[in-house]
Amino acid sequence: MPVIRRTLTTLSEFGNTSKICKVSFSQSNRRLSNSLFDIHPNVSAALSARKPVVALESTIITHGMPYPHNLRTAQLIESIVREHNAIPATIAVLDGQIHVGLTEEQLQRLSSSSGQSVKISRRDLSPVLSQGGTGGTTVSGTMIIAQKVGIPVFVTGGIGGVHRGAETSMDISADLTELGRTPITVVSAGVKSILDIGKTLEYLETEGVTVATFGETKDFPAFFTSKSGHMAQYNVATPAEAGDLIVKHLSLGLQSGILIAVPIPDSEAGVGEDIEKAVQQALVEARRNGIMGKEVTPYILQRVYELTEGKSLDANIALIKNNAKVGSQIACEVAKLTQDKETSYQKSRCHTVNTRSKPPFGQTESHARPVVVGASIVDFMASIMQKDILYHGGTNPGSLKQTYGGVARNLTDCLSRLGTLPIFISAVGEDSNAENLLNYCRHMDTSYIQKLANQQTATYCVVLDSAGECLLGIGDTDITMAITPQLVGKFEKEISSAPLVCMDGNIPMDTIDYICDLCNHYGVPVWFEPTCVKKGQKPFLSGASKSITYISPNISELRNICSVLDENISTSTDQSGHTIEEVIALCQMVLQHVYCVLVTLGKDGVLVCRNSHKDKPSSSTESS
C-alpha cells in the first residue's frame, strides 16, 4: 500500500558530512513489506514522518503469561505507549511473515496460541520463516527486526543474562550477544536475580554494550528490586538525557546496543522485596531437587508465582507498564533530537524543505475535496401497528420500509447535495443490496467505495412499536471491519490534499488511529462522528483523540466518552435528563483532547464549545 513519501537521512550519516547517503524510507518499507515483512500502516506512517515508535516483543504474549493476562497486558502496554505520544510496534511472526505492529485480531490470535507458538530468537528466525511458522520474538529476535525497519527504542520487561553455573554449562542468553552487535536501545527493568547479575554485567562490558541506569543513582536493578548490589557504569536522570545518549551513540555508527535499566516503581518496592525472598527460596529448592539447565528458569518462575500467591505476576505487569512509560518518553526525545538534527543539517547544506501550506478550514484549494470514511448501510424499518404485540411466531400487522444509511454515507449524501463533491471511502459486498444502495447514491461520487467479494453489504433492521418507540435493532455490519488501514491507505494522496476528513465510529480502532496519524502529519483537520455510545469511545481509548479537530456526539455519547477520561462520570443514556451546566462541564473535559465539540441536544438544539481565546470570534464556517 502507499506510504508517506519522504526522504530520510540515516542517523549514522550525521557523523560523516563528507559522504551523504540518502535512502528512501518509503521504498525500503515497501520492499520489506513485499517480501518477509508486513509493516502496520500506523508504524510505517510514523517512521516515514520521523515520529516516535516503540518496539515491543511478543514472547511475553506467547510464553510469558497465561491467557487472558497476556492479551490484557499487551493491550495495556500498547495503550500506555500511545498515551505518551508514541506509536507501539509489537513484533511477531505470523504464518511465515514478520509483522511489525499487530492488529487487534492478531494480538488475540497470538495470545490464545499457547503451545502452538515458537519462541523466536536470532537462530530461529530463518527456520520459522521458511516453514511458515508462527511465534513470539524474544529480546534478541525483536532487536534484529526493529533495527532492520529503523526503530531505535525497544521496551521489554527484563533481558536474559548469564545463568548461574555458566562457567560449566555455558548457558548465556542470546540477548547479551545481540546487544553487542545490534544498535538498538533496550529499556528494561534490569536482570532477574535468578541469573548471575555480576557475570551478566561483565559479559555486556566485554561485548561493548553501554549500560546505564535510569534515575539518580547507578544502582543496577534486579527486576523485582531496585538494587541488585551491582553498579552500572553510567546513569541517565531524564528521558532527555537518555535521548541525547542514544542519538550520539547512533551518530557514531557503533554497531553495539544500549541497555537502559529502569528500577521498579517505589509503589511496588515492598512487594518486590517479598518476591525476591520467594526467588531465593525457589533457587534453594531447585538445587535441592536437582533441577538444572533450561528447566531452572520455568521452575523458579512457577514456584515464585505459587509462593507469592500471584503477586509476582502483578508486579511483573507493573514493571512492564513503567518501562513502557519511560521507553515512550525516551523515544519521543530521540525523535525530537533526530528531527532537530536533520533540520540543522539541511539548513547547513542550504537544502530547501518542500513544505505544503494548508489553507484554513473553509478556504479550500481548487482541486481539494473533503474525504469521508465509514459505513454504508442498507436500513430496514419495521413498524408494528397494533398495541398488543404477538410473540412466539405470531404475525403482527405493520409496515416495512427500506432506506439507506450509515453515518458516513449520510454525511456524504448531505455534502454532495451542498455541492462539495466529497470523496467517500467505504466498503460494500457484491450483492443486490450493494447494487440498490449504489443506484440510490447516483448523486454522489461512489467510485471510491470498494466492492468486496465474499462479503455482505452492511444491513440494519429496527423494529418500532405502535407508538414509534424502538423495540429492538438487528445489525449485520461485519463488513465495516474490512475498512482497514490498508484499504484507506490506497487514498493517501486524496487525504493529504483534503480540506477536511470526516470519519464515523463504525470503522476499526486501528483504522481510526491510522487516519488520525496521517492527517496529523499532513495538517488536515479531522471530524469524528461517534455513531453510538460505545463506538464513540474508540479514539479516546487509543490516544488518537489528540489528532481530532471536531467531534459531534449526542449527550449519551458525550457521557460515555467522558467516562473513559474519568471513571466517576455517569454513563446514563437519558437524552432529556441533562443541564447545560453538565454538558459544558463534560465538553471541557473533551476539549483537553480536541479543538471543538458540537453536542446535539435534541429539542434543545446544538451546543458548540471550542478551544479559543474568549475575545476571538468563531470563524464564518463554524458560525454557519
Q: How many CA atoms lie within 13 A of 612 on its CB side?
A: 14
- Of the listed ranges 219-228, 343-352, 408-417, 422-431, the least confidently predicted one is 343-352
470 Rama sector, left if φ>0, alpha if ψ -120 to 50, beta otherwise: beta
Partners of 24 in beta bridges = 7
Reported as a pLDDT band with limits 50, 70 and 90, residue 622 is very low
Which single residue is written with the C-alpha cell 543496577? 220
Reported as a pLDDT band with limits 50, 70 and 90, residue 270 is low
The SS3 assignment for 204 reads: helix
Query: Does pLDDT of 286 surpass 90?
Result: no
**Alpha carbon distance 199, 351 (integer Å):** 49
Torsion sign (Cα): 399, 404, 405, 406: positive
Cell of 236: 541517565
- Of the listed ranges 6-15, 65-74, 126-135, 212-221, the least confidently predicted one is 6-15
* Residue range 7-345 in CATH 3.40.50.1820: no
**Alpha carbon distance 12, 4 (integer Å):** 22
Position 364 scores a pLDDT of 41
Reported as a pLDDT band with limits 50, 70 and 90, residue 20 is very low
**Cβ–Cβ contacts within 10 Å for residue 148, how many?**
15
Cell of 575: 437524552
Q: Are 504 and 529 in contact (CB under 8 A)?
A: yes
- Of the listed ranges 23-37, 142-156, 366-380, the least confidently predicted one is 23-37
Position 241 scores a pLDDT of 97
Query: Do strands 449-452 and 423-429 pair parallel, antiparallel, or not at all (unpaired)?
Result: parallel
Average the pLDDT over 586-593 and give the result: 90
**Cβ–Cβ contacts within 10 Å for residue 526, how many?**
28
- Name the phi and psi angles at 139, rounded to 5: -60, -50
**Cβ–Cβ contacts within 10 Å for residue 543, how many?**
22
Reported as a pLDDT band with limits 50, 70 and 90, residue 160 is confident
Query: Does pLDDT of 608 surpass 50?
Result: yes
**Alpha carbon distance 435, 453 (integer Å):** 13
pLDDT in tens, 309-361: 777 777 788 889 999 999 999 999 999 998 776 555 445 444 333 333 333 34
Better-predicted residue by pLDDT, 607 or 291: 607
Q: Are 523 and 498 in contact (CB under 8 A)?
A: no
Which single residue is written with the C-alpha cell 543539517? 345
3-state secondary structure 254-274: CCCCEEEECCCCHHHHHHHHH
Query: Does pLDDT of 239 surpass 90?
Result: yes
- Name the phi and psi angles at 288, rounded to 5: -65, -35
Average the pLDDT over 128-139 and give the result: 94
pLDDT in tens, 5-18: 222 333 333 333 32
> The domain 371-551 is classified under which CATH number: 3.40.1190.20, 1.10.3720.10, 3.30.56.10, 3.30.70.20?
3.40.1190.20
Average the pLDDT over 212-217 and give the result: 95
* Residue from 420, 427, 459, 430 nearest 446 by CA: 427
**Alpha carbon distance 554, 560 (integer Å):** 10
**Alpha carbon distance 411, 378 (integer Å):** 15
pLDDT in tens, 572-585: 655 556 688 888 99
Partners of 382 in beta bridges = 400, 463
Reported as a pLDDT band with limits 50, 70 and 90, residue 503 is very high
Q: Are 176 and 200 in contact (CB under 8 A)?
A: yes
Which single residue is written with the C-alpha cell 552500572? 232
- Of the listed ranges 27-36, 215-224, 440-449, the least confidently predicted one is 27-36
Query: Does pLDDT of 624 surpass 70?
Result: no
End-to-end CA distance of the chain: 38
pLDDT in tens, 513-553: 999 999 999 999 999 999 988 898 999 988 888 899 999 99
User: What does pLDDT average to over the chain?
Assistant: 83
Position 621 scores a pLDDT of 41
Query: Across 367-422, where does the E strand assignment appear?
Result: 371-373, 377-384, 398-405
**Alpha carbon distance 343, 339 (integer Å):** 6
Q: List residues with catalytic annotation.
A: 57, 192
Q: What's the order of all strands across the beta sheet hosting 377-384? A: 398-405, 377-384, 458-464, 470-476
Domain ranges of the chain: 7-345, 371-551
Average the pLDDT over 370-385 and give the result: 94
Q: Are 584 and 574 in contact (CB under 8 A)?
A: no
Question: How many degrees, rounded to 5, is the angle at CA 551 between CA 546 and CA 554?
Answer: 135
Position 457 scores a pLDDT of 96
- What's the helix, strand, coil split of the chain in %, to 5? 45, 20, 35
Query: Does pLDDT of 489 surpass 90?
Result: yes
The SS3 assignment for 361 reads: coil
Query: Does pLDDT of 615 surpass 60?
Result: no
* Residue from 147, 145, 134, 144 nearest 107 by CA: 134
The SS3 assignment for 511 reads: helix
3-state secondary structure 141-200: HHHHHHHHHCCCEEECCCECCEECCHHHHCCECHHHHHHCCCCCEEEECEECCCECHHHH
- Of the listed ranges 27-36, 48-57, 268-277, 321-330, the least confidently predicted one is 27-36
**Alpha carbon distance 469, 463 (integer Å):** 8
Reported as a pLDDT band with limits 50, 70 and 90, residue 192 is confident
Average the pLDDT over 117-143 and give the result: 94
Residues in the chain: 624
Cell of 352: 530547501
* Residue from 546, 527, 549, 519 nearest 407 by CA: 527
Position 306 scores a pLDDT of 84
Position 345 scores a pLDDT of 46
Position 342 scores a pLDDT of 57
**Alpha carbon distance 170, 604 (integer Å):** 75
Average the pLDDT over 214-235 and give the result: 91
**Alpha carbon distance 19, 22 (integer Å):** 10
Position 408 scores a pLDDT of 96
pLDDT in tens, 89-101: 999 999 999 999 9
Enter the DSSP assignment of 223: S
Query: Does pLDDT of 439 surpass 90?
Result: no
In order of 223, 304, 312, the CA distances from 318 in angstroms are: 11, 16, 10
In order of 279, 301, 369, 400, the CA distances from 294 in angstroms are: 17, 12, 61, 67
Q: Do domains 7-345 and 371-551 have the same CATH topology?
A: no
